[in-house]
Amino acid sequence: MSRPANHPAYIPQTPKLFENVAIELRTKLLAHFDWLTNAYLIAERRVKRDADGRELRFPAVQVSGKEYVNLLPDAHLKNHSYLDTGGTDTIDYHRARSQVQTEVGLVFFFNYRDLYPTEWQSSTIERVKSDVLDFFAQTAFSTAQIKPVRFLDTAPGIYQDYDYWEIDHQFLMKPFGALRVDLSINYFQNCP
């Protein structure tokens, strides 16, 4: 696993279903948050073995053909986001047009000094949450209806389903921070 500072996100050549939503969300996040170094698409659950032979689960995104980047907090990745899907979609199937409902986590890792350069020491996670809510209030999406439904701001909540205890705890203390906002997303698939 490599950890490049600003590896470009891998964009599917022929996006389908939720990939279209993820690409639009990525584009709008990067346009809105100037501090965001990268907005990766959909993370996959990957597993590696540590020196003791234990399996470690972590989120990763594809950045090229066979190369993946581990997305657990790391200052080398700078300020980034990614989508963590739960793997369950509810489909209201109709021959002409089907609706798909899913819930995903939008995870941010950031350095407060980049978000609020002159006020980083006094800024809190509540300010970041407010900025994220403002983003969704001000942004219209053409591919989906997206609604924030909950914030999680502790390691067990943000990195649920992963071995977050492997995170160097300095990456969840100021000047660093992380936040997960769970999103309820409805999108449509037109059927031929």
Which region, left, alpha or beta, applies to residue 175 given φ > 0 means left and ψ of -120 to 50 means alpha? alpha
- At residue 134, the pLDDT reads 98
- At residue 168, the pLDDT reads 59
Instruction: Look at residue 87 and tell me whether its pLDDT is greater than 80.
Output: no
The 10s digit of each residue's pLDDT in 45-59 is 888 887 788 888 888
For the residues 109-121, what does the mean pLDDT come to? 95
Instruction: Look at residue 41 and tell me whether its pLDDT is greater than 50.
Output: yes
- Cα(118)–Cα(38) distance, integer angstroms: 22
Chain centroid offset of residue 105 CA:
6
Instruction: Look at residue 7 and tell me whether its pLDDT is greater than 90.
Output: no
**pTM for the whole structure:** 0.89
Q: Are 70 and 58 in contact (CB under 8 A)?
A: yes
Instruction: Look at residue 3 and tell me whether its pLDDT is greater than 60.
Output: no
How many C-alpha atoms does 141 have within 13 Å on its Cβ side?
A: 23
Work out the widest C-alpha separation in the chain, in whole angstroms. 55
- At residue 151, the pLDDT reads 98
Instruction: Look at residue 167 and tell me whether its pLDDT is greater than 60.
Output: yes
- Cα(154)–Cα(98) distance, integer angstroms: 36
Q: Are 90 and 100 in contact (CB under 8 A)?
A: yes
> How sure is the predictor about 75, in pLDDT bands with cuts at 50, 70 and 90?
low
For the residues 137-165, what does the mean pLDDT come to? 90
For the residues 30-36, what does the mean pLDDT come to? 94
The more confident residue out of 167 and 115 is: 115
> How sure is the predictor about 169, in pLDDT bands with cuts at 50, 70 and 90?
low
